[in-house]
Amino acid sequence: MKTKYFDEIGLSGCQRLAYYEWGDTRNDRVVVCVHGLTRNGRDFDALAQHLSPHFRVVCPDMPGRGKSQWLPNPMDYGYPLYMGIAGALVAQLGVKQIDWVGTSMGGLIGMIMASQSGSPVRRLVLNDVGPFIPKKALERIVDYVGKVPKFNDLGEAENYLRQVHASFGPLSEEQWCHLAVHSTRALHDGTLALHYDPAIALALRAVPSQDVDLWALWDYVRSPTLVLRGSDSDLLSFETAKEMMRRGPKVKVVEVQGVGHAPALMEDDQINAIKNWLLE
């Protein structure tokens, strides 16, 4: 894995953005993996490692997350900016076609991109997200986003993540430790904080709380789509997944048992489902 950077001129001026690249850079089969709202590109380490013998895998940190810059205007955190960055990243990679794996927010970015005329998205993987998101699930997320806890050590941070992200499923000690290491940053006083800009919450809370309905956009998606759904998910219901199969492009749904929002994509069954489908 290599850490790389590129500059993108967007709504908030010039932004320095980080991404993690796996596999042969000469490989024209490219998979872009984009994380959820408060997460970062290192969430995909296990998946990228398994995909890299077959694909060039690129996992960006979106603005305000991981090693990418925080935005001077927090109200710019939103999908217009994210779509511009997604387009700039594809241009940076110098390819005409990509496969897209997106968890939650990253899945919505991929879905929007796949709905556009002339989209570069060949195949789309949506990890526990779809064109309808219930208000109650959004309120749960908004409740914890933007809080700024401090941790005396990595163990405290890991315990916090185990509580906030319990719906990721029964991860191993090693997997939780991996998330803790890459979900925290060191502060000047020696304590640790979460590795994202808490001001992300401001743009979220500025929008009235309501269901999100993107069915009209979904109807324009033509890319074959794999949907992973946590069996206990409050964000992607069984009914929504079923409707996606009925009215969307060629859709395959894989339900991950004992997991809520969202599957962590660290277990062999989840990784193999994505790898085998992309290689079809």
Does residue 178 fall inside a structural domain?
no
Provide the number of structural domains found in the chain: 1
DSSP H/E element including 30: strand 30-34
Query: Crossing angle, helix 105-114 and helix 79-93, to 10 degrees?
Result: 70
Which of the residues in the chain have pLDDT under 50? none
Does residue 22 fall inside a structural domain?
yes
Tokens of 226: 């794999």
Range of the domain at 274: 2-134+214-278
Span 242-269, pLDDT tens digits: 999 999 789 999 999 999 999 999 999 9
Span 190-232, pLDDT tens digits: 999 999 999 999 988 888 889 999 999 999 999 999 999 999 9
Does residue 100 fall inside a structural domain?
yes
pTM: 0.96
Rounded to 5°, the CA angle 59-87-53 comes to 35
**Do 222 and 122 meet the contact criterion of CB atoms below 8 Å apart?**
no
Does residue 154 fall inside a structural domain?
no
Does residue 265 fall inside a structural domain?
yes
Q: How does DSSP classify residue 194? A: E
The CA distance from 266 to 153, in Å, is 24
Does residue 205 fall inside a structural domain?
no
C-beta atoms surrounding 205 within 10 Å: 12
Does residue 119 fall inside a structural domain?
yes
The CA distance from 53 to 21, in Å, is 13
The CA distance from 20 to 36, in Å, is 16
Tokens of 57: 């895998």
The CA distance from 173 to 166, in Å, is 13
Q: Give the CATH number, domain containing residue 89.
A: 3.40.50.1820
Does residue 146 fall inside a structural domain?
no
Q: How does DSSP classify residue 178? A: H
The CA distance from 165 to 84, in Å, is 29
